[in-house]
Amino acid sequence: MQTRTRSRKRNFPLFRTMALLVPILIAVVLMSQTVFAQYTYVITDGTRVLVHTTSATDLNAVLNEAGLKLNADDTFTTQRGDGISEITVQRGRSAEYGTQVEQEQVARVETYTTSIPHSVTYYHDPNLPAGVQEVLTKGVNGELLCTANVVYSGGKETSRTVLTQTVVKNPVEEVIAIGTGSAGQSVQGVDGLTIKDGFIYTANGEVLSYTGTLRVLATAYTCEGDPTPPPTATGTKAREGAIAVDPRVIPYGTRMFIVTEDGQYIYGIATAEDCGGLILGNRVDLYYDTEEECIDFGARWCTIYILG
């Protein structure tokens, strides 16, 4: 009896294919694990701390993904830990101060003074010629001390809330009289000078008030040519406007306005500061700078208006 042995035929092509695919599949799995790996970063930017998870490994890309923009002078450092990387951002001066100025709001209490405008009151005065105005009381602004809460943003004031107001100085009301009377009488021979009802209106617009009048005989003197002129009786320097009087009639220091009766001379404002041996009673001696002026004046009757 003959025994036959049946041999089993192996499928070598399929086996070879599987042998080739297994390493490829293993490589693909390893590569996918690398591609889809996730990394965690703890990012510190000043007072801000961010935790960002990403598959990116480029640190600049990581910061961009986290929404952190770096300027030219900004830098960062890294430190790796167990599965976590730390990134610390150091901002440059331009970013630091630019952000601070743009975003910072500062509120502080300030103390300051401001003026209180004075008021003006007009009234009609029949004793003044029509159209003439006279300031009786000069106005002065007052002063107000304030405290306020002031808010600044980016270095500019955005709001101001006044907290307290204290009057340091009250304003002074200005009082102006407007003339409604007759035009008055002009002094003969003198253009632009009007004297009426206690007031003297000069050609240059000055208004003087007087309280009384005195008729005197006036002469003139000078110290021209004297290198060391003596002082007046009151110790002042001899000059135009400082006249000699009888102090029993016109006390020293009296201010007056002098006009000759014929209207030819306006000596103007004068002060009683000197005296003389021949200046007695209703006599005055008017000082002039030159002898020629004294000779021209001579001796004349004058009206003295005692100024208030």
CATH of the domain at 85: 3.10.20
Residues 211 and 138 grouped into a single domain: no
For residues 281 and 265, membership in a common domain is answered with: yes
- Is there a contact between 110 and 148 (Cβ–Cβ < 8 Å)? yes
Tokens 């253009």 -> residue: 191
Please tell me whether residues 117 and 92 are part of one structural domain.
Answer: no
Characterise 197 by phi-psi region: left (phi > 0), alpha (psi -120 to 50), beta (else).
left
* pLDDT given for residue 58 in this prediction: 85
pLDDT at 222: 94
Tokens of 4: 């036959």
114: closest CA among 162, 72, 51, 179? 162
Of 211, 201, 136, nearest to 172 (Cα)?
A: 136
Distances (CA, A) of 157 to 104, 110, 113, 164, 214: 12, 12, 18, 19, 67
Residue at token pair 């106005």: 139
- Any residues with CB less than 8 A from the CB of 150 and at least 6 apart, and which? 107, 108, 109, 110, 157, 159, 160, 161
Q: Is residue 8 part of a domain?
A: no
Q: What is the pLDDT of residue 20?
A: 65
In whole angstroms, give the CA distance from residue 195 to residue 305: 10
- Cα separation, 185 vs 193, in Å, equals 9
> Which pLDDT does position 238 carry in this prediction?
93
Whether residues 171 and 249 fall in one domain:
no
Spatial CB neighbours of 168, under 8 Å, sequence gap ≥ 6: 113, 142, 143, 144, 145
How many structural domains compose the chain? Answer: 3
Regarding whether 223 and 150 lie in a shared domain, the answer is: no
Q: Write the CATH number for 132.
A: 2.20.230.10
| Model pLDDT, residue 7 | 47
Both 143 and 124 in a single domain? yes
Tokens 């008030």, residue located: 209
Q: Are residues 277 and 164 in the same domain?
A: no
d(CA 240, CA 268): 10
pLDDT at 108: 85
> Tokens representing 33?
């694990």
pLDDT along the chain (308 residues), means of 10: 49 60 61 61 81 82 82 82 79 59 73 90 73 82 92 86 92 84 53 80 86 92 90 93 95 94 89 93 94 94 91
Residue 263, domain extent: 186-307
Q: Say whether both 27 and 125 belong to one domain.
A: no
Q: What's the start-to-end Cα distance of the chain, in Å? A: 174
Which tokens belong to 296? 């021209």
- Do 156 and 213 have their domain in common? no
pLDDT at 227: 87
The C-alpha atoms of residue 149 and residue 109 are separated, in whole angstroms, by 4
Q: Are 192 and 203 in contact (CB under 8 A)?
A: yes
Contacts of 33 (CB under 8 A, 6+ apart): none
Q: What pTM did the predictor assign?
A: 0.42
In this structure, are 233 and 257 located in the same domain? yes
Name the residue type at position 51: V
Domain end point (choices 82, 100, 118): 100
**pLDDT value, residue 82:** 67
32 and 20, same domain (yes or no): yes
Q: Is residue 7 part of a domain?
A: no
**Is there a single domain that holds both residue 22 and residue 78?**
yes
